[in-house]
Amino acid sequence: MSSQPILDGYKIIDFTQYLAGPTATRLMAEMGAEIIKVEMSPYGDPSRSFPYRSKEKRSAYFVQQNRGKKSLCIDIKNEQSKQVLADLIKECDVLIENFAPGVIGRIGFSWEEVHKLNPKLVMCSISAFGQTGPLSHLPGFDYIAQAYAGVTSVIGEPDSPPSLPMLGIGDVTTGVHAAGALSFALLDAHRTGVGQHLDISLLDCYFHQHEVNVQAYSASKGKIVPRRNGSHHYAVAPTGIFQGPQGYIMILALLHQWPVLCKAMGREDLTDDPLFGTNEARLENLKQLIVVIEGWLQRFATDEDAIAALQAVRVPVAPVLTVPQAIDHPHHRARGTVRTVKDRLLGEFDMPGMPLKFSNHPDLLPLEAPFLGEQNREILSEWLSYSDDQISALEDAGILTSKPH
φ/ψ of residue 79, rounded to 5: -65, -35
What one-letter code names the amino acid at 260?
V
**In DSSP terms, which residues pair with 124 in a beta bridge?**
96, 198
Q: Are 157 and 215 in contact (CB under 8 A)?
A: no
Q: What is the spatial distance between Cα 16 and Cα 48, in angstroms, rounded to a whole number?
A: 13
- DSSP secondary-structure letter at 370? P
Q: Determine the number of helices (DSSP H) and then strands (DSSP E) in the chain.
A: 17, 11
* Strand, helix or coil for residue 34: strand
Closest CA to 22 of 165, 136, 179, 138: 179
Q: Which residues, other chains included, contact 148 with Cβ-Cβ below 8 Å and sequence gap of 6+?
A: 129, 135, 140, 203, 206
Q: What is the spatial distance between Cα 26 and Cα 64, in angstroms, rounded to a whole number?
A: 9
The catalytic position among 210, 233, 329, 405 is 233
What one-letter code names the amino acid at 122?
V
- For 191-204, the DSSP string reads HHS---EEEEEHHH
Tally Cβ neighbours within 10 Å of residue 198: 20
What one-letter code names the amino acid at 85?
L
Report the relative pairing of strands 94-97 and 122-127 from DSSP bridges: parallel
Integer CA distances (angstroms), 182 to 67, 87, 186, 261, 265, in order: 19, 22, 6, 44, 49
Half-sphere exposure of 169 (CA within 13 A, CB side): 17
Q: Bin 222: left if φ > 0, else alpha if -120 < ψ < 50, else beta.
A: left
In the residue annotation, 208 being an active-site residue is answered as: no
Residues marked active site are found at 233
